[in-house]
């Protein structure tokens, strides 16, 4: 990541805000260059969509704790939206070497891969120390930190993926999602994108969290540092999360507290046609913050027997 002076940062913010409020400016070359520069800054970690309060969008890699106090940088989101307005969709394709050709049995698409989009796909991940398995896609404007492993997966524009995190097979990190370091995102996890409205908080996943298979986290939900979400947990901003580890049952919405171990559940709700079970989640244990992360995780999995 590159350093950027406070003056340059303020100038960049002023320019993006002006372009966003005056669409005609998009026709100017200098406006287009300014927007493109924001995409490059997002990719190399110079800018990020959300950061600890008072830290600024140029804070870089920081500990992802106290996540309720993070702020959204509206103008950075605006730069992403402007990039989509500025670009026109194009078809990109490449030929595959092999015996199968477009004339083989009249198969007109054989031997060709392609996509049709306004944004590019990153091809420079090796220079960032990232391992990207065949089938993983990182869209232009997303930051992937050193030591990240990407199995066949998708990371959308504006997302931040921290040091040493694993994004497993068929998992998705939506636009502007902020994922901490050493997070395990298991197969089929869906981390939602929150690009609009510009002031809406993105999904934020704290350091050392573990998201089990087919977990869904959307609508700006916060998953605290070290939390474990068991397989099939689905969290929106309004999903009740009940802490049943004490007699005084607490309720959370839109946030999983640090080190919480969460499983999927249901609660009964009365409707005109009768009482039916509605999805919720339960906190059934807490990881020990004093124990090594891997030891603590293994202990919790053995003790609770939760599916991941």
213 in the same domain as 195 = yes
262 in the same domain as 157 = yes
What is the residue-averaged pLDDT of the chain?
92
Are 294 and 275 a contacting pair, CB within 8 Å?
Answer: no
**CATH number, residue 135:** 2.160.10.10
95 in the same domain as 135 = no
pLDDT band per the 50, 70, 90 thresholds, residue 306: low
Instruction: Tell me which residue range forms the domain holding 101.
Output: 88-118
Rounded CA Rg of the chain: 21
Angle at 85 between CA 80 and CA 91, to 5 degrees: 100
What is the mean pLDDT of the segment spanning 119-142?
95
Q: Give the DSSP H/E element, type plus range, for residue 59.
A: none
**CATH number, residue 57:** 1.10.166.10
Number of domains comprising the chain: 3
Select from 230, 249, 232 the least CA-distant residue to 240: 249
255-287, pLDDT tens digit by residue? Answer: 999 999 999 999 999 999 999 999 999 999 998
Give yes or no for residue 289 having a pLDDT over 80.
Answer: no
For 73, other C-beta atoms within 10 Å of its C-beta total 20
167 in the same domain as 26 = no
In a domain, 1, yes or no: no
Q: Which of 70, 86, 102 is the last residue of a domain?
A: 86
Give yes or no for residue 308 having a pLDDT over 70.
Answer: no
pLDDT band per the 50, 70, 90 thresholds, residue 94: confident
34-68, pLDDT tens digit by residue? Answer: 999 999 999 999 999 999 999 999 999 999 988 99
Looking at residue 101, what is its pLDDT?
59
Q: Report the distance separating Cα 152 and Cα 149, nearest Å.
A: 10
- Per DSSP, the residues of 260-294 read EEEEEEEEEEEETTEEEEEEEEEEEEE--TTS-HH
């Amino acid at each position: 990541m590159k350093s950027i002076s406070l003056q340059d940062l303020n100038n960049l913010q002023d320019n993006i805000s002006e372009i966003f409020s005056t669409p005609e400016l998009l026709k100017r070359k200098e406006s287009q260059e300014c927007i493109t520069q924001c995409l490059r800054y997002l990719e190399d970690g110079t800018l990020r969509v959300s950061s600890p309060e008072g830290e600024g969008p140029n804070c870089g890699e920081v500990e992802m704790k106290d996540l309720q106090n993070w702020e959204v940088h509206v103008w950075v989101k605006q730069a992403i939206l402007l990039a989509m307005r500025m670009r026109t969709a194009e078809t990109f394709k490449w030929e595959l070497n092999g015996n199968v050709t477009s004339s083989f049995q009249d198969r007109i698409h054989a031997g060709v891969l392609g996509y049709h989009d306004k944004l590019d796909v990153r091809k420079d991940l090796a220079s960032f120390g990232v391992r990207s398995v065949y089938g993983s896609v990182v869209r232009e404007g997303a930051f992937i930190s050193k030591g990240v492993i990407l199995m066949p997966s998708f990371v959308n524009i504006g997302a931040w993926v921290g040091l040493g995190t694993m994004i497993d097979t068929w998992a998705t990190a939506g636009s502007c999602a902020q994922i901490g370091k050493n997070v395990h995102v298991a197969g089929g996890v869906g981390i939602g994108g929150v690009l609009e409205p510009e002031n809406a908080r993105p999904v934020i996943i704290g350091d050392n969290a573990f998201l089990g298979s087919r977990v869904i986290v959307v609508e700006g939900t916060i998953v605290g540092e070290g939390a474990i979400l068991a397989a099939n947990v689905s969290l929106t901003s309004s999903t009740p999360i009940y802490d049943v580890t004490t007699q005084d049952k607490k309720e959370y919405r839109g946030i999983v507290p640090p080190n919480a171990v969460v499983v999927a559940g249901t609660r009964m709700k009365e409707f005109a046609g009768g009482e039916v079970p509605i999805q919720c989640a339960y906190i059934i244990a807490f990881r020990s913050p004093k124990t090594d992360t891997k030891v603590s995780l293994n202990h919790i999995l053995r003790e609770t027997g939760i599916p991941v």
